[in-house]
Structure 1
Amino acid sequence: MLAEAAHLIALALSGAYTILAFYAVLPEWPLPLILCLGLWCHRQQYWLRNDRIHNTLPAKSYPHTDVLLGMDWFFAMLHALRTYAVLDMWNEMFTSIGQTFWNQSIGQWVLLTNEPENVKAMLSTNFEDWELGFSRKKLTQLAIGEENLFALNGEEWKRARHDVKGIFRRGEIRDLQGVEAHVENLLTRIAMEGDKVDLQKLMYLFGMDASTEFIFGYSTDTLLHSTVSTDDFARSLDYSLEAAAFRARLGSIAFLKPDPRFEEAVKTTRAFADDFINRAMLNRHSHYQGEKDQMFLQDVLGDGKSRSYARDQMLSMIIAGRDTTASVGSSLLWMLARRPDVVSKIRAEIMVLEGTRPSWEDLKGLRYLNMVIKEGKLYEPQQLQRN
């Protein structure tokens, strides 16, 4: 029996564990058990081979109390999310266990790292070797759509990225008039809030208003003049992303917790975007030279692209524009409130404008302000790029 078991493991390690081979060697053993053993052996061989190639040691593992499914990690993360202590939890884990370690959550093993050289390899030096995993793809596909930019890899990602470049026409980026209106709305809303203001919340509203106008040509205007339709869209988008993240954490047991509200939020979000797609399709074959939302949508709908593809890219860009603006802006304002010396230097530099409305070139010429913004971005959670 031991000889037969050793022969089975040898077959697994060589990759020759076919059903026929299993039956021929040990026909009396349960096939599922044999398959699991063979797959486990093959996986171990894969990681050991990689360790040898890169001259590394195996990563440490989180000290699970539930070694079977890792439910202890899942509930610990859930508690951290509910108590707004996720950052503290991550910091404690990386400090106590190490900068790179394995953890298991609901049966799925994940390798976590905050080692700078590892991050550099993923984002720069070995960029082409990495792609989005199943969980990350599923999260965005549930909330945004199957073909959204954040769920694509390889050539599909490159094609989608090329399609959305139409948003960033240089002339439109340099046009500050639309952005200025939303800045004025933000300042007005801050004044309306009174002595204590939650700037992070207002920065998200500002990001939503600015990004929807930039992409749709029509702002949600949530800061001052929201409507039932725009409020529903904003709330539905937020909830769909939050619920999708939770369902992704549940993994294979997500079906045990149905969420009708999530399904309704996704429908509302997509219906809002569909209104603009319908308008673009009506003018698709005309000589219409209209607003920038029409021009962008015409680009994305070109070359036989489907409505769902266009909608997925629109929603991707709205989320990217809103979350990036809100994250960087909130972080920067938090830091400036604690650095009056930096604020004084920014004000001194701005004085050269002598109260005039700045142009794009004027803003680029404010070197200290630009460096402050770039340094502030270092504190923003960075998103992984995709190849």
Structure 2
Amino acid sequence: MALLDLLETYRQPLALVAGLSLVFYLLSRLHQQWRQHRFAKENGCEPVVGKIRNYDPFFALDRLYFLGKAAKERKLLENNIKRFKDYGNTHRGQRITTPMLVTCDPQNIKTFLSLKFNDYSMGDRIQIFGPLLGHGIFTSDGEDWARSRHMIRPNFVKEQVAHLEIFEEMMDDLFALIPADGSTVDLQELFFGYTIDSATEFLCGHNVHSLKKRRSGVVDGEPDFAEAFNYSLDNISKNGRYGPLMFLNQHPKAVESHRVCQKTMDQFVDKAIKLRENAGNEKVVDETAERRYMFLYGLAQQTGDRRRIRDEVLNILLAGRDTTASLLSNMFFLLAKHPETWAKLQEEVATLEGRAPTYDQLRNMKYLKYCLNETLRLYPVVPVNSRTAIKDTVLPVGGGPDGQSPVFVAKGTAVAYSVYAMHRREDFYGPDAEEFRPERWIDLRPGWEYLPFNGGPRICVGQQYALTEAGYVTTRLAQRYSILESRDPGPWEEKLTLTLCSHNGTLVSLRH
């Protein structure tokens, strides 16, 4: 009774407070809408006409179902292009409760990646990637991101990337796993093994030897880092599709995979910290040890924070492995389907007379560059991406009936962009934009309509490393094998996790 009496005493004041709060909220919303309307009018903005239709107007759950279904059918990117044809190069959508703008227009992409970089953040990337990657260059924003980039950039200067010995040391393992009798081999599996070995050697000075383990066939009972890394990345990509509902995608195996990856990196980090401490006492660091610790040792020289070092290495490992492996896998899928292109590539490689290429020789191989560029055009490693507006801002095109007027972007709006769709626009690449034709790069000089490694301040710091490794492996394979045949009768099908490769692998035959 005492509680009821107390509530009765304060009923009227509580009702007054609730009423005033509601009025204040409504007035605030009206003022915000008026301010946004005035901002949009001052900038000449027009509404975006095209909109993805949802049966669920509140949470767009039917959209989430559709994306999951398209992913299982391996048609996410195919449907992506269809939406742009149906709704225009810039259109509206919804992700659960978050409003979205979706674009494949280079003017808009240039704006939020570069010209108005500070108007946008990475959104919920830390929630999606964080369980594995922690706080690093790919998951951070603002000052944290700037510090990460400052720490990492010196490790990708030419003097570091030009050391090709790491790549050559592992070629014997790659060659040994390619059947000598010309029987079918999945190069995609081998490329992902090769690049995780080279990346851990380059970044940590400690090769995880996934190719050697495959060669020996010996199971040592230890958790496999490469397998754990694959599962972790697949789980993260699903979280990206679930968005705010990612709590529905909880699997014990994902937690264990994250733990295996982080524990492995922790062992390398501890060795780097010890080397740093010893270097301070001995004043001279053994040249071999310094080379082996390359990236990791460079980070350890800048900070003693073990967690920070581990997170940065895992962030770069993601790019160092997946970018190159996906590029190689897609390119050899295409080369095997186009024997005339393989023959032209071999003609260029023959000028080396069987010698391993130097860094400068790789950079001067034009047709190899055309093949790499064309592969990245058709199958960009990161085909779709997004940013989130952290203030009211404007994009230059997409509004009005003709789509040529500026567009108002409200704070909190997610802006998704499709490099995959942009790279296949016929107004940029001609009526044969869907075809693999490296020769188009003889005269092609694209700007923001070609974006294989992102752009603006967040452009990939390791792009030269990826291109160098991909070029080196391609050259060595072309020197060793004169015949490359496809053993996959079907067309390319997408396997989209955080990066893009072939669902069926790269099934080929290689012969001398």
TM-score normalised to structure 2 length: 0.63
For 1:361, give the aligned amino acid: D
Moved more, 76-85 or 284-293: 284-293
Is the Cα contact below 8 Å between 2:206 and 2:268 reproduced in 1?
no
Aligned residue for 1:140, secondary structure, equals: helix
Cα displacement (A) at 1:368:
2.7
Are the structure 2 counterparts of residues 43 and 269 from structure 1 closer, same or farther at C-alpha, using a change threshold of 3 Å? farther
Q: How many correspondences in the alignment?
A: 362
Partner of 1:336: 335
Distance in 1, Cα, partners of 2:247 & 2:23:
26
For residues 230 and 53 of structure 1, do their structure 2 counterparts lie closer, same or farther at Cα, with a shift above 3 Å needed? farther
Aligned positions of 1:302-313 closer than 5 A: 302-313=301-312
Following superposition, the deviation at residue 96 of structure 1 comes to 1.2
The question of whether the paired residues in 1 share the 8 Å contact of 2:345 and 2:368 is answered with: yes
Per-residue displacement from partner, 1:213-256 (whole Å, max 9, x unpaired)?
A: 11111222223425657762112222222223323433444335
- Asked if residue 187 in structure 1 is aligned to residue 175 in structure 2, the reply is yes
Whichever structure has more helix as a proportion of its residues is 1
* Cα deviation, residue 66, structure 1: 0.1
Query: Percent identity among equivalent residues?
Result: 27
Q: Contact 2:151–2:302 (CA<8 Å) still a contact in 1?
A: no
Q: What does residue range 36-51 of structure 1 map to in structure 2 within 5 Å?
A: 37=26, 41=30, 44-45=33-34, 47-51=36-40
Partners of 1:348 and 1:76 lie apart in 2 by 47
1:139 and 2:128 equivalent? Answer: yes
Distance in 2 (alpha carbons) for counterparts of 1:33 and 1:223:
66
Instruction: Please point out which of 76, 88, 97 is paired with 1:86.
Output: 76
Shift of 1:383: 5.0
**Cα distance change, pair 180–65 in 1 and its aligned pair in 2 (3 A):** same
Paired position in structure 2 for 1:378: 377
2:102 is the counterpart of 1:112:
yes
- Report the equivalent of 1:326: 325
- Superposed displacement of residue 321, structure 1: 0.8
How far does the alpha carbon of each residue in 1:241-293 deviate from its partner, in whole angstroms, 9 at most, with x for none? Answer: 22233234334443355422222211111000000011111222223331435
Kept after mapping to 2: 8 A contact 1:215/1:292:
no
Q: Which secondary structure does the structure 2 equivalent of 1:302 belong to?
A: helix
Q: Which residue of 2 aligns with 1:5?
A: none
Which residue type is aligned with residue 365 of structure 1?
N
Name the aligned partner's letter for residue 195 of structure 1. Answer: S
Among candidates 37, 62, 65, match of residue 55 of structure 2: 65
**Structure 1 residues 210-219 or 297-306, which shifts more?**
297-306
Cα deviation for residue 365 of structure 1 reads: 2.9
In 1: Cα distance, 2:52 partner to 2:263 partner: 43
Contact kept in structure 1, 2:229 and 2:261, CA below 8 Å: yes
Per the alignment, do residues 322 and 115 of structure 1 end up closer, same or farther by CA in structure 2, a change over 3 Å counting?
A: same
Question: How far apart, CA to CA, are the structure 1 residues paired with 2:324 and 2:345?
Answer: 20
Distance 2:171 2:250 in 1: 40
> How far 1:169 sits from its partner (Å)?
4.9
Deviates more, 1:236-245 or 1:46-55: 46-55
Consecutive unaligned residues of structure 2, counting only runs of 5 or more, are 1-12, 280-284, 384-451, 459-512
Structure 1 residues 47 and 219 mapped into 2: Cα distance closer, same or farther (>3 Å)? Answer: farther
Which range moves more in the overlay, 76-85 or 108-117? 108-117
Aligned position for 1:317: 316
1:55 aligned residue: 44
1:96 to 74, 83, 86: 86
The letter for the 1-side match of 2:173 is: N
Using a 3 Å threshold, how does the CA distance of structure 1 residues 254 and 372 change in structure 2: closer, same or farther?
Answer: closer
Alignment RMSD (CA, Å):
3.0
Matched, 1:277 2:269: yes
Identify, as 1 or 2, the structure richer in strand: 2
1:196 aligned partner: 184
Alpha-carbon deviation of 1:354? 1.7
Give 1:114 deviation, angstroms. Answer: 1.2
Name the CA distance, whole Å, in 2 between partners of 1:383 and 1:49.
37
- Aligned pair in 2 of structure 1 residues 45, 307: CA closer, same or farther (>3 Å)? farther
CA 1:230 to 1:169, structure 2 compared with 1: closer, same or farther past 3 Å? farther
CA contact (8 A) 2:193 2:210 kept: yes
**2:71 counterpart letter in structure 1:** L
Match of 1:18 in 2: none
